[in-house]
């Protein structure tokens, strides 16, 4: 077996575990909303049409925040269409996904769903076809207690108390030529600054997210962040990062090392933000909202929107079926996000239901967990306290896309109050079992509480409505502690969690 050595020491803390790292994303795209979270014909549907089985799975997944309503969809969205009496709401063409949105679900329904799901809402405003005034109007509708036209309209629509939304995204992917209302960095930076300034006149304590790059492959990557933050630094708190281009395309070794690329993304954006901070001579530091990330097979047929005169409601779109290798990569991307908890203050797995999602549903029928559900749920449940800087001594292997990558990647969290430690690790080897030896002598008295492994001899196994339990995290009986040293054997292409307590 290949030996790998890790060292844990509570003196080396990266920063606190942030609950907002475990956010998700609901966009009016495909079947995410309609027949996803909302399906009035479903046997479990409540009075608002929300599927209780999906609500249960959302809570089990451990989602902390949900970004809404987009995504590309938001750049053409008129929020007023989704409030008030249902019979007075217009159907609209959604240019982003060549679909029709009936506006049955809007701001009011989403806020009620968020309360039921026990998640914090994270709203996005349309800076594609709209601007400052519409953003301020939506803020007034959501957050002002009463006494104005829009706040009183909310009260008349059945919500006497403000929604008190704290996090707001100033548009979506405005660097992308595919975006409705696509802008240059200078155009968007000025608009973001003006919008943020006006929104803070209503509520100075908002947390505002400026659009960063839609990926490191964008030709404007880096320069986009520099220009946008030069314009809007004083008005925003975070800058977004989006990444989906990780997929297995016949090169499994590179795919399993995708977190190397996420590390580069986070570190590059952080460096750019800090350069603007230095130039402006400011104390305030801009952090990252990685508010769209996942594995996405963009070239599959289900990722192609309708075309021509076909404008369906809730078409099947982006319904990737994830396998074991995908779950290992998603777990590794979570390791990267936790490892950068000093700079990544929020993140959103995109998306929650049906659309490149951990949860799948049948219209009016069954729901089930995809393989990627499990690493997210475990990380959300067990990561507590502070993230520790883990020293990893592991052999490397060469990848075609990302250069040399360690065979094992890992991160750990430590809760000083309880003494609990959670170690999250992936084995990227395609063929070899690895023995991980952890030097935890600086944390005396530890014992193994639980050790689990998600793996399968066939890394292409995918869950279905008929079987989503054959491959799940299983007990790993090899985990032991002796004289402050933890040992565990992990199979190839695997996601592993070792929980330790005093």
Look at the alpha carbons of 185, 191, 194, 196 in this order and tell me if their dihedral is positive or negative: negative
Q: Which of 276, 236, 38 is nearest to 127 (CA)?
A: 236
What CATH number should be reported for the domain holding residue 230? 3.20.20.80
Same domain, 251 and 365: yes
Same domain, 255 and 219: yes
What is the pLDDT, as a whole number, of residue 299?
A: 85
pLDDT exceeds cutoff 80 at 395: yes
Average pLDDT over all residues of the chain: 97
DSSP 440-486: -TTSTT-EEEEEEEE--SSTT-B--SS-SSSSS-EE-TT-EEETTEE
**Cα dist from 184 to 9, 137, 208, 274, 382, whole Å:** 46, 25, 20, 22, 42
What is the pLDDT, as a whole number, of residue 405?
A: 98
Provide the residue range defining the domain that includes 460. Answer: 2-9+387-501
What is the pLDDT, as a whole number, of residue 141?
A: 98
Same domain, 327 and 402: no
pLDDT exceeds cutoff 80 at 339: yes
The catalytic residue among 80, 173, 194, 225 is 173
The tokens for 391 are 């020293």
What is the pLDDT, as a whole number, of residue 442?
A: 97
Same domain, 330 and 399: no
At 388, the pLDDT band (50, 70, 90 cuts) reads: very high
Helices (H), 248-323: 252-256, 258-280
Q: 316: how many CB neighbours lie within 10 A of its CB? A: 14
Cβ 362 vs Cβ 34: under 8 Å? no
Same domain, 369 and 394: no
Same domain, 120 and 248: yes
At 302, the pLDDT band (50, 70, 90 cuts) reads: confident
Same domain, 137 and 67: yes
Q: What is the mean pLDDT of residues 10-15?
A: 97
Same domain, 429 and 377: no
Residue where one domain finishes, among candidates 382, 415, 446: 382
Q: Which of 327, 320, 270, 326 is nearest to 297 (CA)?
A: 320
Same domain, 472 and 404: yes
**3 state SS of 116:** helix
The pTM score is 0.97
Rounded Cα gap, residues 355 and 197, in angstroms? 34
The catalytic residue among 109, 120, 140, 292 is 292
Residue where one domain finishes, among candidates 382, 404, 428: 382
The strand pair at 480-482 and 485-490 is best described as antiparallel
The tokens for 467 are 């079987």
Residue where one domain finishes, among candidates 346, 366, 382: 382
DSSP 52-98: HHHHHHHHHHT--EEEES-SGGGGG--GGGGSS-GGGPPPEEETTTT
Cβ 53 vs Cβ 468: under 8 Å? no
Q: In the chain, pLDDT over 90 holds for what percent of residues? A: 97
What is the pLDDT, as a whole number, of residue 73?
A: 98
pLDDT tens by residue, 101-135:
999 999 999 999 999 999 999 999 999 999 999 99
Same domain, 355 and 395: no
What CATH number should be reported for the domain holding residue 428? 2.60.40.1180
**Cα dist from 62 to 32, 117, 220, whole Å:** 18, 10, 35
What is the pLDDT, as a whole number, of residue 1?
A: 79
173 is catalytic: yes
pLDDT tens by residue, 328-338:
999 999 999 99
pLDDT exceeds cutoff 90 at 303: no
Cβ 355 vs Cβ 31: under 8 Å? yes
What is the pLDDT, as a whole number, of residue 81?
A: 97
| Ramachandran angles phi, psi of 153, nearest 5° | -65, -40
pLDDT tens by residue, 62-112:
999 999 999 999 999 999 999 999 999 999 999 999 999 999 999 999 999
The strand pair at 13-16 and 2-7 is best described as unpaired
At 245, the pLDDT band (50, 70, 90 cuts) reads: confident
What is the pLDDT, as a whole number, of residue 292?
A: 98
Same domain, 244 and 378: yes
Q: Which of 449, 453, 462 is nearest to 491 (CA)?
A: 453
Structural domains counted in the chain: 2
Q: Which of 412, 397, 418 is nearest to 488 (CA)?
A: 412
The conformation of residue 369, written as its DSSP 8-state character, comes to E
Q: What is the mean pLDDT of residues 425-441?
A: 97
Same domain, 378 and 432: no
The tokens for 341 are 């908890």
């Amino acid at each position: 077996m290949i030996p790998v050595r890790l060292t844990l020491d509570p003196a080396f803390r990266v920063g606190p575990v942030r609950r907002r790292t475990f956010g998700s994303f609901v966009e009016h795209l495909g079947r995410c909303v309609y027949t996803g979270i909302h399906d009035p014909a479903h046997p479990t549907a409540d009075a608002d049409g929300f599927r209780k089985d999906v609500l249960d799975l959302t809570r089990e997944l451990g989602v902390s925040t949900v970004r809404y309503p987009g995504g590309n969809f938001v750049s053409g969205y008129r929020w007023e269409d989704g409030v008030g009496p249902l019979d007075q709401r217009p159907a609209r063409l959604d240019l982003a996904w060549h679909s029709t949105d009936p506006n049955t679900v809007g701001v009011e329904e989403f806020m009620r769903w968020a309360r039921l799901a026990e998640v914090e809402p994270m709203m996005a405003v349309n800076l594609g076809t709209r601007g400052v005034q519409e953003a301020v109007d939506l803020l007034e509708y959501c957050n002002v207690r009463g006494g104005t036209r829009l706040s009183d309209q909310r009260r008349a629509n059945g919500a006497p108390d403000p929604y008190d939304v704290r996090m707001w995204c100033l548009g979506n992917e405005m660097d992308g030529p595919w975006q409705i209302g696509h802008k240059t960095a200078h155009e968007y930076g000025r608009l973001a600054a003006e919008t943020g300034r006006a929104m803070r006149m209503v509520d100075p304590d908002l947390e505002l997210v400026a659009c960063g790059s839609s990926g490191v492959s964008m030709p404007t990557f880096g320069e986009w962040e520099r220009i946008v933050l030069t314009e809007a630094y004083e008005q925003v708190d975070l800058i977004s990062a989006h990444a989906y281009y990780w997929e297995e395309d016949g090169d499994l070794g590179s795919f399993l090392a995708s977190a190397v690329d996420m590390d580069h993304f986070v570190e590059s954006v952080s460096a750019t933000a800090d350069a603007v901070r230095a130039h402006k001579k400011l104390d305030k530091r801009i952090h990252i909202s990685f508010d769209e990330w996942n594995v996405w097979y963009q070239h599959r047929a289900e990722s192609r929107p309708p075309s021509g005169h076909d404008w369906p409601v809730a078409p099947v779109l982006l319904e990737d079926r994830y396998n074991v290798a995908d779950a290992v990569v998603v777990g590794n991307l979570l390791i990267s996000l936790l490892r950068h908890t000093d700079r990544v203050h929020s993140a959103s797995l995109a998306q929650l239901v049906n659309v490149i999602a951990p949860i799948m549903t049948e219209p009016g029928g069954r729901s089930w967990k995809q393989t990627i559900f499990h690493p997210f749920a475990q990380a959300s449940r067990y990561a507590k306290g502070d993230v520790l800087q883990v020293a990893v001594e592991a052999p490397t292997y060469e990848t075609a896309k990302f250069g040399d990558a360690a065979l094992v990647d890992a991160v750990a969290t430590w809760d000083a109050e309880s003494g609990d430690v959670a170690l999250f690790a992936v084995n990227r080897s395609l063929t070899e079992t690895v023995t991980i030896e952890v030097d935890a002598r600086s944390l005396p008295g530890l014992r193994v509480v639980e050790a689990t492994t998600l793996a399968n001899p066939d890394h292409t196994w995918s869950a279905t409505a008929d079987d989503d339990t054959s491959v799940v995290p299983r007990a790993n009986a090899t985990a032991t502690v002796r004289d402050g040293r933890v040992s565990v054997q992990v199979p190839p292409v695997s996601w592993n969690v070792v929980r330790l307590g005093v």
